[in-house]
Each structure stands twice: as C-alpha cells, then as structure tokens.
Structure 1
Amino acid sequence: MTQDYGFALARERGIALGPIGHRIVEENELTRVWEVRLAPGEELGFHIHYHPYYVVSLGGGDNEIETIFGKTIATQEPLGHTVYIDEKRAIHKLTNRSDQTYLSRLIEFKAVRWTYDDDPAQARPEAGEQTPEGYAAAFREILEHTADLPWEPKSLKGLYQKMLWRDEETGASIALIKFDKGVGIPNAHAHASNQFMYCLSGKYRYIPTGTTLVAGSFYCNPVGSVHGPTIADEATIFLEIYDGPHYPVQPPWYTDPKDAT
C-alpha cells in the first residue's frame, strides 16, 4: 500500500517544495550542514527530507511544525536542544512562535537517501534499468565497531581518541575522546568551528563556570566562544563532533600538530 506523504496534495495546491534550510554551511560526500535562521513569526516553507538528519539548536524557543495535511506539532528548541530524525515524515513547514530568533544547524547524513512512493521523481530504478548517475554513491556507508578500535594517546598525557570519521578538506570530524581522571585542558581556549560533545560516561567540569557534564549530557560550544580550563573529576568518555577545523592555531598543551586537527 502506498503511503501518502503529501506530494499529490502539494501538486493539487500548486505548492513548490523549498529547501530544508536557508544556506549550506558545509558539505562533503557524506554530510550536508544547513543553517536554519528564523526571526520571530517567520516560517521555513513546505519541504521534505530525503536523508536522516540531526538538528542542534544554537538559540531559540517555541517552534511549530505544520504538515501539509494541517496537523500542527508544537516543539521547544532552546539553545543546546538536539533531535535526531531517522524516519520519513510528510511534507511540512516550520514556524518560529517565540519572541527570539531561532538558529540551528541541521546535519543531513547523505549515505542514506529516502524515496517516497507517492513522489514519481524519486522512484527507484527498476531491475534491469540503468542506475542514474550518483545513485549508488548516495548509499555508501561507514561502519566502525568502536570496541575494536584502539585508544590512540594524544600528546597531552591522559587524553586519548578513537577517530571515527574525518574530512581532510574541511577539518570536520567525529571521534570518541577519553580523559583519565584528573586530566583536563589546562588553558582557556576557543575553537575554529562549532564543537558538539555528548558525554557517554564520567564527570567533566569547566572550572571557571562549574559547568559539569555527566553521562547523557550534551554540550555545544559555538565557534570562537572561550571556555576552560577543564578537568575530568572521573574518567570520562565523549562523542565529540566538529563541523570544521578544531583550533585556529596549535594550542600549547599539544606537542604534536596532528593532535590539534
């Protein structure tokens, strides 16, 4: 049975679907990072997603999703709010219902591409048909069994990483990071791109502010924002994501330049 995602209704109403964000911040063969920026009362018009995606709010409040069928869903997306969408949803639009600007980064994972039964333009090729150019590339996958990867020591004693993915052109990366108890970044510092951290275990503290991350904590540090020094009150493991290069210059606590990238 064909599921209705709203394409026929969009054609009937003369609605041309728009982009899922306002501008592309970064893109490579595996990911595409969009900026979404909505002034109070502003809306991002009807659109649909063709890839799983992850949204990180950099500021905002109350938003409203409205599907093409008229169903409305209230959402609250303040600074630091995250959401991962890995299922197809009907055509929809987004409106900022708060009194402050909503800003976010929407990260598409291009290795998976969704098709919709009611969207003829997205039909999969039938058996025996020539595969469209670029079609197979959209389904390239990366699989890492992290338990099988060794912890690689960095040149700051007591700090280790498992690099899961890195774009050598942009410097963007995804890695597991481990701090031994009592180890931290010794100086205040800023990053050359946005830093996203999800704490998997342990207890990690930003000394000047007392901000403490424990298992389940999500932390977003925007590009150029000064933070630290830090200390791991317990042995701590993070999933750490950068959407560009890590540091503007090599920081003094690393003796190996590759540790700063």
Structure 2
Amino acid sequence: MDNDYGFDLARQRGIKLGPVGHRIVEDNDLTRVWEVKLEPGEELGFHIHYHPYYVVSLGGGDNEIETIFGDTIATHEPVGHTVYIDQKRAIHKLTNRSDRTYLSRLIEFKAVRWTYEGDPSESKPEPGDATPEGFEAAFNEILTHTGDLPWEPKSLKGLYQKMLWRNEETGASIALIKFDKGVGIPNAHAHASNQFMYCLSGKYRYIPTGTTLVAGSFYCNPVGSVHGPTIADETTVFLEIYDGPHYPVQPPWYTDPKDAT
C-alpha cells in the first residue's frame, strides 16, 4: 500500500524508532541540524523523517539504506555529496559499508511537518470545536515576505543582505545575500561554523579552484575549511545559512563589526 510506511510492522517486531541523527548541532524555529557519524560497519537504527531535509556529507564513502520491509538501497556519499529529500519514505536504517568514517550534517526544514497514518506518536486533538487549553502556545511561526525587505548594504561595497532569522545566543543565521557584478570576498578565509549556500540567481566563482555557483547550486563549506578569494561574474543572490558564528575574528574587508556576525 502506498500509505504503508511500516508502523504496523515495527509494532509487530517490537522496534522502537530512534532519532534521525546522533547529535543536534543547531535547532531553531526554521531548521534543525543533526550530526550523523558512523564508523565502518556501524548503523543508525530504524527511524522515520517528519520534515524535508538536506544531507551534506563531510566525509565517507559507501552506505546502505535498508527499509523495515527489507528493501536495500546502496548510496555513495563522499565528502561534498549532497542530497535533498522532499517526500515521505518508509521507516529505514542507515549502515556505513565503507572502510572509513562517515560524517554528515542532516538539515531538517521544520516549516513542513509530515504525518503518517498509524503513527503511534501522533497526538490528535479531542473532537469538538473548542481549542484545547494551551494549544496556541504550540505555534511559534515566522513568516517573512522577502520582497518587502530592503537590501541592507554591508561595509564591503557592492555586498548586501536581507537578514531573515538570527539566533543571538549561538550566532546561527539565515539571510539572503547579494553581490553586485565584479564584487567578491578579497581574501582567503575560513568560518567559525558550517556555511551553507543555495544560489538563487547569478554566477559566483571561487578564484583559486574555479568552483562556480549558478542558479540551483548548493554549496557547503565546513567549519575551518579555507576558501576564497571570490568574484561575482554576474550579480548574484544566495540563500546563506550558518549553524553558528560566521567568523573566528572580524575579517579585514569589513569595517563594521556587525557585518562579520
């Protein structure tokens, strides 16, 4: 059956579902970032996903997905490999089939939450018209129409941002970033947290490597990894996500300290 995701079978076999990762790196109103780390032969037990998600490999090789129904899918996830899952999948587990450690970040997008028929964890409101006491407190939504926000110039000429969300305690943030044509980051540099970039439009190049981002490109620069300098060959707009503070120290191309956070 198309709507059978394995909950009845899990109940019959006495399987208790676990989390989708090993450690939560960042959790906010919009996203939850998990670390998945598996030594050779180690497995992440049976689980199911409740949100669309991205997986970004930070190292590894061959893995195997096995559903609760016994179906297996071989995957190859070397460093830099990414995959976006936007559809429900049956209960499954993940096993590292390579001879090296597998490490990844799994980014859940919490704006969408999937529900499953037969899921015992689903709590349903009591029948009736009245809203259960305290029900409103469960909602803490953020809605931003980015077209209504002005582009705020940063202290590097030709660079602008629209800050969509920021955690002042951790430094994590989500923003739209725009580079005018011919503008880029002038120096090689590293970040104090993981940087995720999704190119919405334009053409943006990392000069030493020639790595070029165009519309639809997803780019991850892990914490501490050096990249740059860069140049926008066309006016370019990114959705940029940091799961912590942006820089270990204020970089020289910013004169305003707030631009480095």
Question: TM-score normalised to the size of structure 1?
Answer: 0.89
Deviates more, 1:185-194 or 1:101-110: 101-110
Q: Do the aligned partners of residues 131 and 72 (structure 1) sit closer, same or farther apart at CA in structure 2, a change above 3 Å counting?
A: farther
Larger mean CA deviation between 145-154 and 78-87 belongs to: 78-87
Alignment of 1:114 with 2:135, yes or no, is no
Answer yes or no: is 1:179 the counterpart of 2:176: no
Distance in 2 of aligned mates of 1:70 and 1:86? 22
Q: Deviations over 1:123-145 (max 9, x none)?
A: 32133376486x65555433333
Report the identity percentage: 87
Partner of 2:31: 31
Instruction: Report if the CA contact (8 A) 1:111-1:139 is conserved.
Output: no
Distance 2:86 2:120 in 1: 22
2:168 maps to amino acid: E
Deviation at 1:112, TM superposition (A): 3.8
* 2:197 is equivalent to residue 197 of structure 1: yes
1:225 aligned partner, one-letter code:
S
Deviation at 1:193, TM superposition (A): 0.3
CA contact (8 A) 1:2 1:117 kept: no
> Does the 8 Å CA contact 1:112/1:139 hold for their aligned counterparts?
no
- 2:62 partner amino acid: D
TM-score of the two chains, using structure 2 as the length reference? 0.89
Tell me the equivalent position of 1:219: 219
Change (3 A) 1:193 1:108: same
State whether residues 53 and 108 of structure 2, in contact with CA within 8 Å, keep that contact through their aligned partners in structure 1.
yes
Say if 2:4 is the partner of 1:4.
Answer: yes
**1:149 corresponds to:** 149
Q: How many angstroms apart in 2 are the aligned matches of 1:132 and 1:244?
A: 35
- The 8 Å contact of residues 66 and 72 in structure 2, kept in 1 or not, is answered as yes
Q: Structure 1 stretches of 5 or more lacking a match?
A: none
Match of 2:27, as an amino acid? E
Residue 158 of structure 1: how far off its partner (Å)? 0.4
Per-residue Cα deviation, 1:6-49 (whole angstroms, up to 9, x for no partner): 12211211212122111111223443211001122221111112
Q: Matches of 2:110 and 2:83 in 1, distance apart?
A: 17
Change in Cα spacing, 1:90 to 1:176, as seen in structure 2 (3 Å) is same
Q: Give unmatched runs, 5+ long, in structure 2.
A: none
Tell me which residue corresponds to 1:245.
245
- Measured on the aligned residues, the alpha-carbon RMSD in Å equals 2.3
Note if contact 2:29-2:141 (Cα within 8 Å) is conserved in structure 1.
no
Aligned to 2:236: 236
Q: Tell whether the 8 Å contact from 1:88 to 1:114 is kept in structure 2 after alignment.
A: yes
Is 1:162 matched up with 2:168? Answer: no
- Distance (Å, rounded) in 2 between the aligned partners of 1:117 and 1:216: 34
Residue pair 2:188, 2:228 contacting (<8 A) in 1 also: yes
User: Would you say the 8 A contact 2:64–2:75 is kept in 1?
Assistant: yes
Aligned to 1:85: 85
Count residues with an aligned counterpart: 260
Contact 2:64-2:73 within 8 A present in 1 as well: yes
Residue of structure 2 in register with 1:68 after alignment: 68
In structure 1, C-alpha distance between the alignment counterparts of 2:139 and 2:53, rounded to whole Å: 15
- Shift of residue 211 of structure 1? 2.3
Does the 8 A contact of 2:29 with 2:140 survive in 1?
Answer: no
User: 2:57 is matched with which residue?
Assistant: 57
CA distance in 2, matches of 1:195, 1:20: 21
SS at match of 1:165: strand
